[in-house]
Structure 1
Amino acid sequence: MAASRSLTTLRMKLLVDTRGQRVLFAEASKEVVDFLFSLLALPVGAVAMLLGQEDAAATGGSVGGLYRSVVNLERSFAQPGADMDALLLPAVPPPAAGCVGSLLRLPDASARPRCPSCGGRPPLAESGVQPSRSSVPNGSPADAGGFVRGNMTYMVRDDLAVAPMSTISSISVFNALAVRGLGAVHERTVQIGHTEALKILKASFESKTVLTDVFLRGRAPAPGTLAR
């Protein structure tokens, strides 16, 4: 059971200012940074699906309305051969697909069989395609793919800005945030699983204090659905 969890969760260490009730920064591994960077490669349709149509619209745009339009459109109006359902879950390009697949439980859209007559694919709900179970590597070597090099620690700021970890960068954060006294700074180890990954995705569209919102305030997105 423990081995199974290790494939779908990541860990990072937070430095928390207990007086200000805020996350100063996190010490993160290559795998965590690869996951965060891979969020930039998520297609808009996948984001709308993961956050839920209404919640995606609430992030400040009309993506939810577009998503509902594709869901509700009678397929007789679609251009012959057009894969309308691919708009609901576009494929995530590598190497991002391997970084977000398990944590966000993205179905493998490419696994849906094509219709021999029209070339389209059946809706995800009818295809029997299961969410991707591709593993999230733990303790992988430096050349194991992804976006950044392994065998080192990275600093993730509250606004998800990432940089290599160093003593100088830590001191700079303390000074920039006017931290008064290290006695109020505590370490806290947290896990990033499916729930936390969705919270990070949602908060990244709404907030500049993502780590504080997710791990201290418990902000949660409205539940999305994987298939319709």
Structure 2
Amino acid sequence: MAEASGDFVDVLFSFLSLPLGTITRLQSEGKFPHSQPFEIGCINNLYRSVKGLNPDVFWNKICKDMLISPRNPLEASCQKLKVKVDDTLPTKYFMCHSCSRNKDLLVVLVSTFDGARCHCGKLMKKETELLVEEPKEEENGVFVKGDAMFLIFDDLRVIRSSPGNSVQPLLKHRYKDLSKMDRVVVDLGVNEIFNILKQALTSKSPLSDAFIENKESKPSYTFSPYTGPSHLKDNFEIKVIVSKSQNKVLFAEANADFIDFLVSFLTTPLGSILNLMNAKLSLGSIDNLYTSVKKLNPSWFTESSNKSLLNPRVAPQFGCKSNNLNASQDTPKYWYGTGAVKDNMGRIMISKRKDMVQDPKEVKLFEPRCCDGARELAVGFMKRPCLFVVRDDLQVIPITTTSSILYLQQLENIQLNDLEEHLVEIRKSHEVIKIHNSLLTACSFAAIILVQENLIHINGFS
């Protein structure tokens, strides 16, 4: 086991705030040092597929950027960590230079995405500072109390450090002579933290695998169908093309609604997925980290940070309506006016608090998935109408009337009379949870839609 202060435990718990798209991006960019690329279910293929899609299939370029670089829902807290895992650029705020100075406008937009176009037609390029309230006193820790000491076991279970808590694991492993235990001090930097994150997602003994040289790592992630409660709502229907001779799913056809539903998992943080799965993800040791947050006494956390870690939810504006379990955090209200403090007096600034600016005027947050940014939440990320093929390895391919024939020609050793078409009904909510689990633990789309008997209703195919 390891013993460490709250600073290290803060970093461990921050893993729960990472969206799946961020974890996959960090791996694809070689952030995990001294390790071979590792695949986590189908999510790597889904990420690479989205990254390779032509921007024309999205509502705009911003939509694609939102999926391959999703925003951390606990960004403000994670920026305070001693070692930062998420290197996504901090949120910036942009306004239209003309509209921000027009006092007669009823609606003025502020965007958290660079390059957005204002409803007046001009680009929103004027970067505006967010005015935040200064903390009254120096904060003690990020998620847990910084001066507290914790025990971290090899499987990433975290408990409060005390002599009594230290005894039980030693007895469990039949240690009798404390003089034979070695004490090793480890300096942790970015590389070491990334190594722990990788092992947390793939191993049942992440600390040993990260710190003991020449220890053979045994990957541990298993596919297990979700059998929790069902909350039936609307349904999806997709067309599945099957090879009769191979008894194999070749690909599925789906519209933009289902693709939105699928790619929205990239914006979902680990903590929210574990919340949906009741901490039974069967993925490395990450379940134990989540359960530790659940079991630790709330008094060891800063304010209500334990609740935010147990269900971070998706960052504001990054949710998807077609995935009703991919709910965004509430979009905050913003006000803009001139700064009232000596250091920013006279400057136009925005704030989440009306009383922090002079002559405050409410501004509307730009919605990146609408053509003018001023309407309510748009539907998903993909343009309508559009048809897609989802391959067995979860590659997503937009299909047109010309490319569909070429796609069939690319299927090796397939005869047309060997193909069979089936309609698959996917019931939302309950099946969303199943697919969350399958994306991370199954190795093919066929496993996602076929292995779980309760997921589909196909006549004549088994």
Which letter maps to 1:83? Answer: S
- In the other structure, the counterpart of 1:202 is 437
Structure 1 pair 217–170 and aligned structure 2 pair: CA distance change class (3 A): farther
SS of residue paired to 1:148: coil
Q: Tell whether 2:297 aligns with 1:74.
A: yes
Gaps of 5+ in 1: 111-142, 222-228
- In the other structure, the counterpart of 1:163 is 397
- In the other structure, the counterpart of 1:84 is 306
Q: What CA deviation, in whole Å up to 9, does each residue of 1:60-97 have, x standing for no partner? A: x2210111011001011112x24211111112132424
Select the residue among 160, 163, 187 that pairs with 2:421: 187
- Asked if 2 retains the 8 angstrom alpha-carbon contact of 1:86 and 1:109, the reply is no
Per-residue deviation, 1:214: 2.9
Which letter maps to 2:274? Answer: A
Instruction: Give % identity.
Output: 30
- Aligned equivalents of 1:173, 1:108: Cα separation in 2: 36
Structure 1 pair 92–209 and aligned structure 2 pair: CA distance change class (3 A): same
Name which structure has the greater RCO, CA cutoff 8 Å, separation 6+. Answer: 1
TM-score, structure 1 as length reference = 0.67
- Aligned equivalents of 2:290, 2:424: Cα separation in 1: 33
Structure with greater helix percent? 1
Structure 1 pair 170–200 and aligned structure 2 pair: CA distance change class (3 A): farther
Per-residue deviation, 1:172: 5.3
- What RMSD in Å do the two structures reach over aligned CA positions? 2.9
SS of residue paired to 2:323: helix
Spell out the pairing of 1:71-220 with structure 2 (5 A cutoff): 71-79=294-302, 81-93=303-315, 94-101=317-324, 104=325, 144-166=378-400, 169-171=403-405, 173-174=407-408, 176-193=410-427, 194-210=429-445, 212-218=446-452
SS of residue paired to 1:14: strand
- Asked if 2 retains the 8 angstrom alpha-carbon contact of 1:28 and 1:153, the reply is yes
Structure 1 pair 199–18 and aligned structure 2 pair: CA distance change class (3 A): farther
SS of residue paired to 2:249: strand
SS of residue paired to 1:196: helix
Structure 1 pair 108–41 and aligned structure 2 pair: CA distance change class (3 A): closer
Tell which structure's C-alpha radius of gyration is larger.
Answer: 2
- Aligned equivalents of 2:321, 2:413: Cα separation in 1: 38
SS of residue paired to 1:38: helix
- Asked if 1 retains the 8 angstrom alpha-carbon contact of 2:264 and 2:319, the reply is yes
Which letter maps to 2:242? Answer: V
- Aligned equivalents of 1:157, 1:214: Cα separation in 2: 12
- Aligned equivalents of 1:32, 1:19: Cα separation in 2: 28
SS of residue paired to 1:96: coil
- In the other structure, the counterpart of 1:63 is 286
